[in-house]
Amino acid sequence: MLIPKKVKHRKWQKGRSKGRLVETRGTYVAYGNYGLKAMEPAWIDSRQIESARRTVTNFTKRGGKFWIRIFPDKPITKKPPEVTMGGGKGAVEYYVFPVRPGRVVFEIDGLPEDVAKRALILAGHKLSFKTKIVEKL
């Protein structure tokens, strides 16, 4: 699972999702020939990224090259069940990456077109938001 080695602040404030805004960075396929682009805003956690990665590597029989273009570095905290209000903020449970529409999440190269697109479709099923496959311009 992906977690940061070192962080400046252990606990962050939640922030607000600017869902109507589209992403300005990471919006085009940079490394491979095919990419998986997010169409909705969401938080993607390290378990979802790992699940999608394992699906792609299993389907492609470890062929080709696969890039993960995001890294979960936003800590999400939770308090234990049945704990009353007060007593401070909860412990860090997991890390997420806030995805906005237009972000290329995964890229793949070195495979035939049908295999690469099918692998990205399977990876998209593991994510909690709508995706589409894009090609390098």
> Where does the pLDDT of residue 19 fall: very low under 50, low under 70, confident under 90, or very high at 90 and above?
low
* For range 99-126, the mean pLDDT: 96
Percentage with pLDDT > 70 across the chain: 98
CB-CB contact of 94 with 46 (8 Å): yes
Rounded CA separation 28/14 (Å): 28
Q: What is the pLDDT at residue 17?
A: 73
Rounded CA separation 97/74 (Å): 6
pLDDT, tens only, 20-73: 788 999 999 999 999 999 999 999 999 999 999 999 999 999 999 999 999 999
The pLDDT of residue 105 is above 80: yes
Q: How far apart are the first and last CA of the chain?
A: 32
Rounded CA separation 109/113 (Å): 9
Q: What is the pLDDT at residue 101?
A: 94
* CA 119 from centre of chain: 16
CB-CB contact of 106 with 66 (8 Å): yes
**What's the whole-model pTM score?**
0.91
Question: What are the angstrom distances between the C-alpha of 9 and each of 21, 50, 86?
Answer: 26, 24, 21
Q: Which domains does the chain have, with CATH numbers?
A: 34-81+90-135 (3.90.1170.10)
